[in-house]
Structure formats: C-alpha cells, structure tokens
Amino acid sequence: MSGVDRGRMSAPRSLPTCRSCGGGRLRPFLSLGKTPLADALVTEDRLDHVDSAFPLDVAFCPECALVQILEEVPAERLFVDNYLYFSSFSDHLLQHAKEHVDGLVTSRGLGPGSFVVELASNDGYLLRNFEPHGVRVLGVDPAPDQAAAARDAGIPTVEEFFGVELARRIRAEHGPADVIIANNVMAHVPALNDFVGGMAELLADDGVVTVENPWVKDLVDNGEFDTIYHEHFCYYSCTSVDALVRRHGMFLNHVEYFPGLHGGTLRWHIGKREHVSAEARRMLDLERDSGLAGFEYYAHFADRVEDARTDLLTLLDQLKAEGASIAAYGAAAKGSTMLNYLGVGTEILDFVVDRNTWKQGKYMPGVHVPIRPVEALLDEQPDYVLVLAWNFLDEILAQQDEYRRRGGRFIRPVPAPEVIP
C-alpha cells in the first residue's frame, strides 16, 4: 500500500495538557497509528510523493471528561490549504439545517432586529435559511473556497478563525449576537478556551449558543472509530461541554439528540443565564450513571477497534478471493481514517465515488484510491460498494436503486461489517 510514512505506533512523548481544563493527567486509550490528513486529497501530480502522516492517538481527561487527540496539526494545514468539505452535498444535512433555523426563528422570535452569527458557516448552507425572516446574519469561516461560495450566495462571511479577538471586533461593529450557531466546529478547534471565550464575548446576555457535534457515547458504543481524525481535536459528552462552558460563565441549559446525524449528534443549548432543562439534567445523569464520565468506559475501546478492523478485512479479503470487484462510496474524512487504519488501497478497491465535484479526479489520502463521479457505479457495476460515508447510508441507498437492481450490494462498515441485501 503506497503513500504513507507509517510508524505504526507513535513514539512515546510527553503528553500534552487537556485542551479544556489544562489538566495534566490525560489517559491515552486508543492509537490509530500515523495517518495522513483526512481531507488532504491527493492530486495526480502528487501520487508518487509520500503523504505526510501524523500520530492519531486519543486520550481521556479525568478532570473534565473531555476526549481528545494528542497530536496538534496546525489548523491552517487542516482547514485552509485546499479544504474540500462542502456542507451542501447532503440533502439530509440541508434539511436538518433548515429545521434548526425554523426552530430558532420560532422559539426565539427572531426577525429583522435580530443578529445571528454562524461559526464554520461553510458555503452558507444554513444561514441562507434566515433570509426569508429578514434576520441579519454573519458567517465566520477560514476556508477560502467555502467563504467565497457563501459570499456568492449573498451571505456576508468573515474569512478568519474565530476567537475572543474576532468576537470583540464583530461585537464592536454589529452589536451582540442573539444567536450563535456552531455546528461541527467545536470539535475542530485546538484553542478551545479562546473559541468558547469568543462565544461568551459575542453573545447577548439573553442570547443562546447552539453547538452541534457527534456524541462521544455513540462513537464508543457504535464503534465509530473512523470519525477520529486530525480535524477532530475533541469528542464531546454533555459532561465535558458543561465543564467547558461553565469556565466561561455560561451554562448548558438544554440538549437535543439526533441519532441519525453523523452517527449520533447532540445539539447543546448554551446561555449566560442558568436554567437547566429536565432533558439536560437527564442526559448529564445518564452519562454519569453509564460511566461515560470515567476512564473505564474507554479502557477496552482499542480492543474493539482492532476486532472491527480484523472483521472488515476478513470480509473484504474473502470477497476478493471469490473474484468480486469492490468499490467504495464517499470520499469522506472518515473514509480516509477507515482505509488507512485498515491498510486498504487499490489492491482491494477499484475506486471511490463521491458527488462532491471538488473531490472527483483526486485520490484518497495515503492509499491513493481514485475518486470518481457517482455515475461510475453504473458504468463499472462493481459487485460490492463499501460505504465509507455510512452516516448517509439511507440517503445513498435511496439514490442507487438501479445499481442494486442490477445485483450490486452495499457494505456497511460500522458498527460491524454487514452486506446489505
């Protein structure tokens, strides 16, 4: 398998302190080896180069319960240089965003006098839903292509990383924010306290911050190890979010759960006034009672991940031995972790398909499997398709009746390898 400078186990090194509380007793519980940057898709002219790879080790903080990776790849490398993730390639995600906005407009009585800021606003996929309500919006996203796409869609966007300093400038120019939205970004922030401190700086006293991220309980319970990559510095529980926001004078007041989004997502409602809902209380109690707030919950996860790798490799090898052709669906960041941790490349997979046109014609990081338009499934009719973007499995299956009618079958990799009939 080409392309990766892979020292399987990371060299022992002094452990960093916790990104949230600064605690010095981080306890590592999983190592995925050295892996390339998950969204650093490879262009044709770079195929003969060795892709940079970095240790991907995960630890638990016993002081504040935050799960986090130990390596810190510079954010500019992760989210500015050629970052190809565009939110608008999932209908499910677009619908989820619209429902979120409609709920906020109704519950907060938002209108022309309101000011809403979205952190990691990407291509404007969410903020554009405020336009019919006349709400003033501002996007914040450091990725140039995504920010440009948002501005082209009429969404004012600041092309910077968010923190206290930028929050002060935004507040000085626009006033306090009634709503701050931070979907799938608080996991991507190395300087966590500067990020959350910026939220507190910008938020109106009676405002709300809604933060969405995958729930670390689903990651462990469902074996979603492939959602671990260098872009995701942190993996959250209600317990760790509660400790984090209280440090900045805010409170975790409510929690919503979306089991079908990104493998299980929580939406935390955070404010400067404490009024913790029964649901937030229930979730915090559930996490305490289940052991999620303690190290033991994670102590055997590495063994389960190793078993998952063995089981999936056994299935793929068996299908290849039977002469089957196999492709994959979704040039997703999680797909990069999956393929690199398994060590699966073009000896198993003929190609990966993806409908993100920015990704087509490039190659998966490390394993250099070519990425092609989705139409290749019907053109080539591989016997099996490994669904790397399993979080959108239903949406993907709904598009592929013809491929399946012709006998093609999809494979779901997690929580356990399963050929979908």
Residues of this chain that bind ligand DWN (CB under 6 A): 85, 89-90, 184, 231, 262, 330-334, 354-356, 359, 374, 389, 391-392, 395-396, 399
- Which of 4, 32, 41, 61 binds Zn ion (CB under 5 A)? It is 61
φ, ψ at 41 (rounded to 5°): -60, 150
Quick one: how many helices (H) and strands (E) in the chain?
13, 17
Size of the site for Zn ion (CB under 5 A): 8
CB nearer to Zn ion: give 187 or 202: 187
Q: Any contact of residue 20 with Zn ion (CB under 5 A)? A: yes
Give which of Zn ion, ligand DWN, none residue 392 binds (C-beta under 5 to 8 Å, depending on kind).
Answer: ligand DWN
Nearest to 286 by CA among 222, 251, 239, 220: 239
Select the binding partner of residue 171 from Zn ion, ligand DWN, none (C-beta < 5 to 8 A, by kind): none
Question: Which option in ligand DWN, Zn ion, none does residue 21 bind, with CB closer than 5 to 8 A by kind?
Answer: Zn ion
Smallest distance, Zn ion to C-beta of residue 185, A: 19
User: Closest CB to ligand DWN among 115 and 403?
Assistant: 403
Provide the token pair at 253. Answer: 């007041």
Nearer to ligand DWN, 240 or 356 (CB): 356
Question: Which one of ligand DWN, Zn ion, none interacts with residue 15, CB within 5 to 8 A by kind?
Answer: none
Report the alpha-carbon distance of residue 167 to residue 202 in Å, rounded: 5
Cβ atoms of 270 and 212 closer than 8 Å? no
User: Does 241 help bind Zn ion (rule: CB under 5 A)?
Assistant: no
Radius of gyration, alpha carbons of the chain: 21
User: DSSP label at 41?
Assistant: P
Quick one: tokens of 256?
Answer: 């919503």
CA–CA separation, 6 and 367 (whole Å): 12
Shortest distance, position 169 Cβ to ligand DWN, whole Å: 26
| Residue 105 contact partner, candidates Zn ion, ligand DWN, none, CB within 5 to 8 A by sort of partner | none
Q: Which is nearer to ligand DWN, 37 or 105 (CB)?
A: 37
Residue 198 beta carbon to ligand DWN: minimum distance, rounded to whole angstroms = 19
Q: Which stretch binds Zn ion (CB under 5 A): 57-65, 97-105, 204-212, 309-317?
A: 57-65
Among ligand DWN, Zn ion, none, the one that 270 touches (CB under a kind-dependent 5 to 8 A) is none
Contacts of residue 163, defined as CB under 8 A and 6 or more positions apart, other chains included, come to 191, 194, 195, 197, 198
The two most distant CA atoms of the chain are separated, in Å, by 66
Q: Are 30 and 298 in contact (CB under 8 A)?
A: yes
Q: Which is nearer to ligand DWN, 105 or 187 (CB)?
A: 187
Residue 85's binding partner among ligand DWN, Zn ion, none (Cβ under 5 to 8 angstroms by kind) is: ligand DWN
292 or 331: whose CB is closer to ligand DWN? 331
Phi, psi of 371 (to 5 degrees): -105, 125
Scanning 210-354, the segments in alpha helix (DSSP H) are 216-221, 238-246, 278-290, 301-321, 333-342
Name which of 158 and 331 has its Cβ closer to ligand DWN: 331
How distant is the alpha carbon of residue 237 from its chain centre? 15
- Distance between CA 320 and CA 355 in Å, rounded? 26
CB-nearer residue toward Zn ion: 61 or 241: 61
Dihedral, CA atoms, 5, 11, 15, 185, nearest 10 degrees?
Answer: 20
Residue with token string 């700086």:
201
Binding piece for Zn ion, criterion CB under 5 A, among 54-62, 204-212, 215-223, 343-351 = 54-62
Is 67 an interacting residue with respect to Zn ion (CB under 5 A)? no
Distance CA 262, CA 45 (A): 32
Contact status: 64 vs Zn ion (CB under 5 A): yes
> Considering CB distances under 5 to 8 angstroms, the limit depending on partner class, which of Zn ion, ligand DWN, none binds residue 338?
none
Which residues contact Zn ion by CB under 5 A? 18, 20-21, 23, 61, 63-64, 66
